[in-house]
Amino acid sequence: MVRPILHILLHFLVPGLVARAAWREQWKKAWLVMVATMIVDLDHLLADPLYDPDRCSIGFHPLHTWPAWIVYTALCVHPKTRWVGVGLVIHMVLDAVDCVWMTSLG
């Protein structure tokens, strides 16, 4: 039960740390935009069961696929979409880390 809670906490903490480090003057705004990218998890509504703490999101949900990662990475290039792109990339990396934890921690 600790892993899913830690996973959710990291989705708030890591964007905050990145925002503070990269955009000191606008870190709150950057953090809010990056946290808002959690809306990408709406693709979980297509799954059955809706929530499974032991399911790896990467490659399972449509917005958590490698082609989507490429789009998210491309969003990081343009200044107007950078916060969204960084937020989505952070989200995917954290979900990938969670998949590794699932297999290694049991």
pLDDT in tens, 41-83: 999 999 999 888 889 999 999 999 999 999 999 999 999 999 9
pTM value is 0.93
Confidence (pLDDT) at 106:
57
Residue keyed to tokens 């990056």: 34
How far from 7 is each of 29, 46, 68, 94, 98, CA to CA, in Å? 22, 21, 21, 7, 7
Q: How far apart are the first and last CA of the chain?
A: 11
Overall number of domains in the chain: 1
Residue 23 is given by DSSP the state -
Segments forming the whole domain that contains residue 32: 2-105
pLDDT tens-digit map of 13-52: 999 999 999 999 999 999 999 999 999 999 999 999 988 8
